[in-house]
Amino acid sequence: MAHSLSWQIVVYHVLEGALLSCLTLPCLSSPTPVNGTPNLVSIIVPVIFVVIFIMLLGGTYVFIKKRQTEGPTGPLYASSNPEYLSASDVYIPDEWEVPREKIALLQELGQGSFGMVYEGVARDIVKGEAEIRVAVKTVNESASLRERIEFLNEASVMKGFSCHHVVRLLGVVSKGQPTLVVMELMANGDLKSYLRSLRPDAENNPGRPPPTLQEMIQMAAEIADGMAYLNAKKFVHRDLAARNCMVAEDFTVKIGDFGMTRDIYETDYYRKGGKGLLPVRWMAPESLKDGVFTAYSDVWSFGVVLWEISGLAEQPYQGLSNEQVLKFIMDGGCLEQPENCAERLHNLMQMCWQYNPKMRPSFTEIIEMLKEDLHPSFREVSFFYSKENKPPEMEEYELDFENMESIPLDPASYSQRDEIMGRDSIPSVGLKGNYEEHIPYTHMNGGKKNGRILSMPRSSPS
């Protein structure tokens, strides 16, 4: 910034000198009239200098504006002191960088957590496709450099993912303003909005009936497949909910981009004890109590997503404040069976909500339960049936309540759990049989059996 400012000051002084020269030139030339007629040279020369000055001024202005628009061509730094940079303070353009001229914005789709989201067209960024429709996420013009880098780094999480049931990142435009993230277009929006549009009394109902049990099972399996893939990649989502799943044009449901929808459904989050916003209505007891996030806590959240699908995206724990929900879950409570919900789905929800994390099914086990009722295309596109899906190494998470603070929460540290908690195989709980038989279990704090152990607390009048 200082270098740019000093450069502009030099240009200013050069132009100031040129102006003074052209103003004083007529005096220096001392024209003498010939036969009472002014010397034409004394008129033409100053005019020429004024024209040159205006051209220089205009050219300088255009050059400066162009530099501001193009921005830096190298790494983006968010730290005021380059000698003390962390990985989160810098974004380095890589093979995902897309030339800005290949992206054309068509129409607004809605507001994202960093800025507006647009439908657009991208040319020659996907092999074999000259032009495709895309979703383009932007950063507000008022965003700081650090916010731009945070936006790019959150999108970069998806660079390592390649799964049919996880929304695909297509490219990044980090050079210049505005910063863009180019995503696979999910024409039917997020699952929460889509489910609500299927309510019979919805104003934006697309003319489709509510999903059948078969369609609900298909949705559940597609979400579970995306989560099984992330689990195999040692990635903990920590915010699985209908709002963070996306619906494609062919109604395939995929795990959405991460960390980008928080501001859209701000009321779904709660700030606990001065910490960051937490989606308490989707969180497992061990996450609320001890800040522990694992694949098992994602399974608990998956149970809440099943509940949302069955109830056409009703608010979980409707009528309770966030504080009441937090206490209710930590005390062993869980959601009631939705109205008209098939017993089969409800039993699966209850398995996901077992208080002891080790007794919950894995995502691959969930698909194993559902696979007989899925569309044949699932076998062709899913991670579950791919060669990449190896038999999972089941890990037992001994929750050390005295040392919970030592367990890091960020997804990148998920692979470090082996060193913290040890590796023992989880005892089989017979999940691959008939899952309509509900398996008894004991809570980690002892004594309590499964089932509806608490009555739903009443919300305080307000």
Residues marked as catalytic:
239
Counting other chains too, the contacts that 145-149 makes at CB distance below 8 Å and 24 or more residues apart are 145/76, 145/77, 145/78, 146/78, 146/89, 147/114, 148/76, 148/78, 148/91, 148/179, 149/76, 149/78, 149/88, 149/89, 149/90, 149/91
Q: Please state, in angstroms and rounded to a whole number, the distance separating the CA atoms of residues 293 and 237.
A: 9
Q: Positive or negative CA dihedral for 320, 324, 330, 333? A: negative
Counting other chains too, the contacts that 313-322 makes at CB distance below 8 Å and 24 or more residues apart are 313/191, 313/192, 313/193, 313/195, 313/196, 313/242, 314/338, 315/281, 316/281, 316/282, 317/281, 317/456, 319/458, 319/459, 320/456, 320/457, 320/459, 321/459, 321/460, 322/270, 322/280, 322/281
Q: Which residues share a beta bridge with 171? A: 182
Provide the phi-psi class of 190: left if phi over 0, else alpha when psi is between -120 and 50, else beta.
Answer: beta
Q: Are 32 and 39 in contact (CB under 8 A)?
A: yes
Q: Is 137 annotated as a binding residue?
A: yes
Alpha helices in 191-321 (DSSP H): 191-197, 213-232, 285-290, 295-310
Amino acid symbol at 23: L
Instruction: Provide the annotated binding site for ATP.
Output: 137
Known binding residues are: 137
